[in-house]
Chains A and B, each alone.
Chain A
Amino acid sequence: MSERKIRVVVAKPGLDGHDRGAKVIARALRDAGSEVIYTGLRQTPEQIVDTVIQEDADAVGISILSGAHTFYFTKIIEMLKERDASDVIVFGGGVIPDNDIPGLLDAGAGAVFGPGTPTSACVKWLEEAVANKRAKE
């Protein structure tokens, strides 16, 4: 594991107000030693990508429970590419049916965690993903 702390943006895209999951995962990541930047509600993809770049984040976690996941995941991943930040790890969770997950992974998401996932599983996955990413740098 690298000495440098993981920097992760936890983002709430769109109009969805359900922030319990985002806040719980933000806290779990922080307790596990990451530096967490939580965006708050009602963020446009532009705002989220701006935050990711300004904060020089390793990863962005997207929480969405409004059913608009395909739209927002795709958009954010596209915009990261356009801004030369395609190395940023994108992951997320929320109310997302299994059938929609392959599409999100194909678009470039690293992992999608459904309801009931322990925060420890998400933390562990992110630590490994960031270690792999840094090994390639």
Chain B
Amino acid sequence: MNKEYTEAKDRFEAGVSKTLQKHKERNEAFKTGGGIPLERLYGPEASKESDYLSEIGFPGEYPFTRGVQPTMYRGRFWTMRQYAGFASAEESNERYRYLLASGTTGLSVAFDLPTQIGYDSDDPMAQGECGKVGVAIDSLKDMEILFDQIPLDKVSTSMTINAPASVLLAMYICVGEKQGVPMKELSGTIQNDILKEYIARGTYIFPPKPSMRLITDIFEFCSQNVPKWNTISISGYHIREAGSTAAQEVAFTLADGIAYVEAARSKGLDPNVFGERLSFFFNAHNDFLEEVAKFRAARRMWAKIMKERFGVTNPKAQMLRFHTQTGGCTLTAQQPENNIVRVTLQALASVLGGTQSLHTNSMDEALALPSEKSVMIALRTQQIIANESGVTNTVDPLAGSYAIESLTDSIEKKAFEYIQQIDEMGGMLVAIEKGYPQKHIQDSAYEYQRAIESKRAVVVGVNQYQIEESNKDMKLLSVDASVGERQINKLAELKKSRDNIAVTNALDNIRSAAASDSQNLMPLIINAVRAYSTEGEICGVLREVYGEYTENIVL
């Protein structure tokens, strides 16, 4: 820094000292939501100009700090993709068509918990849960109804499905077949990220080793047959929802990513190829500046990891492309209309962070699944940011902000420290077994709760500015309890009308292939699905062979 600047800065600091003697600041120290100390003022000393090309660079170029495309939203907006699904395939199909008619540009399927954990609706474990948090899918029959009149060659579909991802992808491929859309033309995403299920989300089925095999089978199958499909969405969203800080979200997500790349490489797959189809999923939380910095840091870090750690030279396989969802845990049951404002700020942070697709939460989601009206407001929020705010008209407009660049550096530094510790432990699988990420997440969650209760953190309407209220008069969506019964009847009919010999044969083939490592399971699962084997039957066979994961409880 030149002499003139230094003198001016000294003069300014002296002035500040005087001001502070008269007026103390609100807090003794200021921190981001994730605990990163914030300076009063960031100036040119925060970013060294020499770093520009190596650390920031141009959008669409390594290290992609400024975005993955050279023109970003001047070309096209992000995909507006609202996560939805409830009750049965019929009701959800109706909701999807409503969303498409309202201007969403991609679908995002929420499955109920039995579907996510590989149980049919008639399984005793499914009691009380059918259709509650998403749509109940038992067989290809349900999937055909779910996408009725929705052309799979025109719409991209994201499916939040993990342990049984192969089965649901197989169903999607079969629906495509019936519509006359070949699998090479299908586009969409399966979440397929089992590691964060062990860490934070809980819908695991099988132990880690066979789970990693199922995942890498999908990588391999899709790179040859479904080239436009994102084979995984490596998710920090749920890690954040479970209570992590922003830096932990980035660190644990990228550490999961490293584990997947390593697993695929040891199967002989080339990261320059499958790396193009890896996608990510992050949370957009409350602390606006920290969140913008987080997205930028994650992009830069993944590019460095792919290039330096895995020797990836294909730029498309170095890029971190991501979906964002606004932070569910930030929604309050108190004064729920305030959530519209929270969601707006979070969505804006994700856009300024360069997201490729976005789900905005609805204001009533701290109470129930969203109603049609609240979903509409959530979608309109995105459309207003896209069309009215003007932030989409120049690329990465916050770049060069002293504060943003400094926070981006801080998140990167902190996150790489966690990744280094995980490396030293022997990688993410070992770290999960030891409860390392779980423990850090829980400590952060508990600390956050204590901050709220001591009012070090203010949540409007919850620990300040409360009013007397009740949500009794709100029009909340409630799922008809008869969904389970309807599904059970459908299953009984299906099992009478299908070719049960073909089903048994298809399941036997999966059983023997699962027991050895010699064959990719995907084609066999597609055959079983095509013969109308149920999801529970296919996962049941895999449960027989692989056993089930038991949770490592960390408290």
Contacts and interface: CB of A to CB of B under 8 A. Distances in A.
B473 to A, nearest CB: 9
Given A17-B197, A20-B329, A120-B453, A66 B113 contact: yes
B132 A68 contact: yes
22 contacts: A19-B202, A20-B242, A20-B329, A26-B555, A41-B551, A42-B551, A44-B125, A66-B129, A68-B132, A72-B128, A97-B368, A97-B471, A97-B472, A98-B470, A98-B471, A99-B471, A115-B332, A115-B367, A116-B334, A118-B452, A118-B463, A120-B453
Given A41-B202, A68-B129, A71-B127, 16 more contacts: A14-B128, A15-B117, A15-B119, A15-B126, A16-B202, A18-B202, A19-B202, A20-B329, A23-B555, A27-B555, A42-B202, A68-B132, A75-B128, A97-B367, A99-B471, A99-B472
Given A19-B202, A95-B367, A97-B367, A116 B462 contact: yes
Interface centre among B203, B333, B334, B462 (most CB of A within 10 A): B333
Given A67-B368, A115-B332, A24 B445 contact: yes
A40 B553 contact: yes
Contacts of B366: 95, 115-116
Given A16-B113, A17-B197, A120-B453, A67 B555 contact: no
Give 10 closest A-B pairs by Cβ, nearest first.
A17-B202, A71-B128, A15-B113, A67-B132, A115-B333, A68-B128, A116-B462, A40-B553, A98-B472, A115-B366
A103 interface: no
Contacts of B116: 15
Contacts of A71: 127-128
A47 B487 CA distance: 26
B449 A24 contact: yes
Of the four ranges (under 10, 10 to 19, 20 to 34, 35 or more), the interface on chain B belongs to 35 or more
B84 interface: no
Classify the secondary structure of B's interface with A. loop
B243 interface: yes
Interface in B504-555: 551, 553, 555
A15 B446 contact: no
Contacts of A114: 333
B305 interface: no
Interface of B: 113-114, 116-117, 119, 125-129, 132-133, 197, 201-203, 241-243, 329, 332-334, 366-369, 442, 445-446, 449, 452-453, 459, 462-463, 470-472, 474, 476, 478-479, 551, 553, 555
A116 B459 CA distance: 9
Contacts of B446: 23-24, 27-28
Contacts of B555: 23, 26-27, 38
Interface in A86-137: 95, 97-99, 114-116, 118-120
Nearest to B479: A67
Interface centre among A16, A20, A66, A99 (most CB of B within 10 A): A20
B453 A23 contact: no
A71 B113 CA distance: 15
A97 B334 contact: no
A12 to B, nearest CB: 8
A22 B479 CA distance: 24
A40 to B, nearest CB: 5
Interface string A43-65: 01000000000000000000000
Contacts of A38: 553, 555
